[in-house]
Structure 1
Amino acid sequence: MSPPQATMLGRRLHLNHGPIDIIAEAFGEGDEVQRAYHQAVARFGTILDELVAELPNLRAPVHAEQRAFGSKIAQSMEAAAQVFFPAFITPMAAVAGAVADEVLAHMIAGRRLKKAYVNNGGDSALYLGAGANMSLAIAGTGNDFEDRIFIGADDETRGVATSGWRGRSFSLGIADAVTVLARTGTEADAAATIIANAVDLPGHGSIRRAPAESLQPDSDLGGRLVTVDVGNLTAQEAARALEAGLRKADELRTCGLISAAALFLNSQWRMTQGMPVAMPPQTQALSGSLQNA
């Protein structure tokens, strides 16, 4: 595997190491931004090795009690996933969001920034200083939601994550995309997985599934059937699957585990209360639209 890579894309920082691919951006005085980027690069260089060292346990399902992990990032993944027990979930469901949170925490430590974000393949962590705001795009849904989500400094949301069967990770459900807002990227990532799994039509003949391990031998999902294709669905069937996912999203919102969620399937969508879709004028768009993950 190649060593960690860090390059500048204009004013944005690109970090890559194995499966981790990050775009980060900080806003503030030039010197402060450069110091923030140096801090992010320094922390990024050790993250993959830490995760690999604990990978067997990170791929194992959560239990009724939280397990102990050696690294802070692995422990945060475990904590975010374990709240969903007894549902099947492993800490790896939160890995992208946890990496984003960790890089952001080191990027902003001791720095005077107006705002910053770390976008790890669509699962993102945000920092907003006093009076700052960001507008975010949900890309790839075909539902005209581009540049429509607005998050302000007074909102509790600091993490945004997307899951679905079309993304880079496997899904037990059939959602094209489920985007979740939560307190952290780690929490948003785990919750998006759970909600996307709930968007489903069990036993439907137009949905093709395969054991995860047949597609990726080391998958944390093992022999569980993951969605590989969604054929023709009637509008009523798509609506039924979305309503199942919305019920799960509303349950998590009532419990305080998420701030809001938007669910997409076959050109239909559902949203929980609290999704901040109105974008005020003259706001700074989040560079790199949030992609399905």
Structure 2
Amino acid sequence: MKRAPQISFLVDGRRLHLQDGPIDLIIEASGNEADVRRAYSAAARRFTGLLDELCDELLLLRQAANPAHCALRGKVACRMHDAVRPFAADCFITPMAAVAGSVAEEILSAMTDNARLARAYVNNGGDIALHLADGEQFTVGLAERPDASGLLQTMTIRADDRTRGVATSGRHGRSFSLGIADAVTVLARTAGEADAAATIVANAVDLPGHAAIVRRPASDLQPDSDLGSLLVTRDVGELSNCEIEDALGAGAASARELLAVGLIEGAALRLQGEMIVVGPKKIESFGLRGPLRVPAAEGAIHA
């Protein structure tokens, strides 16, 4: 029997809120009224039972991804595995590193399969899947940290851009991080790919063995964590300018490798008030200064 998630519109009457356990989605679609209704109905249908599907394969989802073979069966679980597969041969990563982005992708796919939409997004706690018809665009905004309010900057994603996914990772996020970044925001072709890559780059922003960094085994903090006994960052003391530069430089090197092989479209890395942006000139020249957040402006993604 499928779970009964919470399904309701926000007070503006335009955005749909879907919540079930740890999954919390904000959805907005644009198009003619009938298509928008069909899209929202499709999203609600697909969302119902989705968490149970993931729980059915949770043991496998928490194991290191196999780069050569996927033993998972569920559609979202397979999306998760596909997103982390490019990294699995070189580091420890589980499909859970792409869960938020992959769920957002799946719901967006259900919407666009059932309705003709001009624009749509599914925002899963800051990991965002986008749909843009020809000639359409989204404006997204930048905040200091995932847990901070206020915008520093905005940028536009257009239909002719390859970016259709945005994700942020770091030690202030919902999941554990092996690195010390306040936030790493990644643009990629899908939300699942952005989610996985943000995890990789955020882990690379680090100063191994530094006395000002407090780490604990993930399993001490959450016994069923997919990271097991790996040390995750709990606190970062004051760092010197050179140390911040070194940590961000290590993360930027990782981001540039992913950019070079086409796994990401760009990234913004932030640590203790400093920032590095990696990407094409239109991203680097824009001056991204933090993780993507959503401004309350016409044509923007609303969080």
TM, length-normalised to structure 1: 0.93
Does residue 209 of structure 1 match 2:208?
no
Equivalence map 1:215-254=2 (5 Å): 215-254=221-260
Q: Which runs of 5+ in 1 are unaligned?
A: 289-293
Q: Distance in 1 between matches of 2:278 and 2:287?
A: 14
Q: Distance in 2 between matches of 1:196 and 1:231?
A: 17
- Alpha-carbon deviations, 1:136-168, whole Å to 9, x = none? 123343798645121000001000000000111
> Which structure ranks higher in relative contact order (CA pairs < 8 Å, sequence separation ≥ 6)?
1
Q: Which runs of 4+ in 1 moved over 4 A?
A: 142-145
Q: Distance in 2 between matches of 1:144 and 1:25?
A: 21
What SS does the aligned partner of 1:138 have? strand
Is the 8 Å Cα contact of residues 138 and 179 (structure 1) preserved in structure 2? no
Is the 8 Å Cα contact of residues 135 and 147 (structure 1) preserved in structure 2? no
Q: Distance in 2 between matches of 1:18 and 1:110?
A: 26
Q: Give the drift of 1:273.
A: 2.2
Matched with 2:183 is 177
Does residue 4 of structure 1 match 2:5?
yes
* Matched length: 286
Matched with 2:106 is 102
Matched with 1:187 is 193
Q: Give the drift of 1:29.
A: 1.5
Residue type of the alignment partner of 1:55? L
Q: Among the aligned pairs, what percent are the same residue?
A: 52
Is the 8 Å Cα contact of residues 144 and 152 (structure 2) preserved in structure 1? no
Q: Which runs of 5+ in 2 are unaligned?
A: 289-296
Does residue 36 of structure 1 match 2:51?
no
Does residue 65 of structure 1 match 2:68?
yes
Does residue 53 of structure 1 match 2:56?
yes
Q: Give the drift of 1:228.
A: 0.5
Give the alignment's Cα RMSD to 1 decimal. 1.9
Q: Distance in 1 between matches of 2:37 and 2:144?
A: 32
Change (3 A) 1:28 1:147: farther
Does residue 168 of structure 1 match 2:171?
no
- Alpha-carbon deviations, 1:188-240, whole Å to 9, x = none? 00000000000000000110000001100100000000000011111111111
Q: Give the drift of 1:3.
A: 3.1
Is the 8 Å Cα contact of residues 143 and 267 (structure 1) preserved in structure 2? no
Is the 8 Å Cα contact of residues 134 and 283 (structure 1) preserved in structure 2? no
